Amino acid sequence: MKKILNIENLRKIYHTKRGEIPAVEDFSFSLLEDEFVSIVGPSGCGKSTILSILCGLEEKSGGVIDLPDQRTVGYMLQQDCLFEWKTILENCLLGLEIRKELTEENKQYVLDLLETYGLKDFIHSYPSNLSGGMRQRVALIRTLATKPDILLLDEPFSALDYQTRLAVSDDVYQIIKKEHKSAIMVTHDLAEAISMSDRVIILSSRPAVVKNIHEIKMTNRSTPIENRKCKEFSEYYDLIWKEIDFHV
């Protein structure tokens, strides 16, 4: 498969009154077309910092980020960040308005996404009328509206209860695959990472370096919920758990 993102020796250092604090050190990785990758590691190790750099919210301190063929990136935050005073359709069109790309063609693309993923009847509703799972679907469609090639997902299900989290992770995964997007997800949930990903990157404690990258191969690979039933799932879980420096 074709590489659509290449990262070499990425570094991030924060400068404070007490001196320099290294957050990310020598992070190298390539993302392939239609690939879903998760980044896991101990709390505070720099996972979200990497996503912030990739989407341009933070400056890197060193290294190279190469997006061949002018590929674009979309960022889905931990919270859905929907504007409560705007309708679902208005929320989904917001990115296009900001980028001055709100054409009839792009609006129809968003309407088609809302219809395809079960939100057609709610386009004139407000976020407060939607369940947590539906709000996350809206947030994803808002991110897809600008047609990014790569989706960055920062703990996208952390605000949901366990049952809803399982169902929404299935929804989001299937939408991403159906729309042929590549994705990088940061998560603390190992089961989530293993069940959704083609590869899992394990980071060390801060400053983050890549400890290992596991290619996830499942027998009869399917949706995230079904993947948790595969015989390889528990093997990957035990293996990755032992490699992460969790401190309780």
The size of the chain, in residues, is 248
Tell me the C-alpha distance between 13 and 15, whole Å: 6
Average pLDDT, the chain: 88
Q: Determine the pLDDT at residue 26.
A: 87
Reported confidence tier of residue 5, pLDDT bands at 50, 70, 90: very high
Q: What is the pLDDT of residue 248?
A: 43
19-23, 113-117, 142-146, 149-153, range with the lowest pLDDT = 19-23
Looking at residue 246, its pLDDT comes to: 57
* pLDDT per position as a tens digit, 65-101: 998 878 889 888 777 788 899 999 999 999 888 888 8
pLDDT, one tens digit per residue, over 144-178 is 898 999 999 988 887 777 888 888 888 888 888 98
pLDDT value of residue 245: 65
Confidence band, pLDDT 50/70/90 cuts, at residue 197: very high
The answer to whether the beta carbons of residues 113 and 145 sit under 8 Å apart is yes
pLDDT confidence tier of residue 39, bands split at 50, 70 and 90: very high
Distance CA 138, CA 91 (A): 8
Looking at residues 23-48, what average pLDDT do you find? 88
| Residues in CB range of 138: below 8 A, 6 or more apart | 80, 82, 88, 91, 92, 119, 127, 130
Percent of the chain with pLDDT over 70: 98
Q: Parallel, antiparallel, or unpaired: how do β-strands 62-66 and 3-16 relate?
A: antiparallel
* Higher-confidence position of 21 and 106: 106
Residue position matching structure tokens 């993923």 = 117
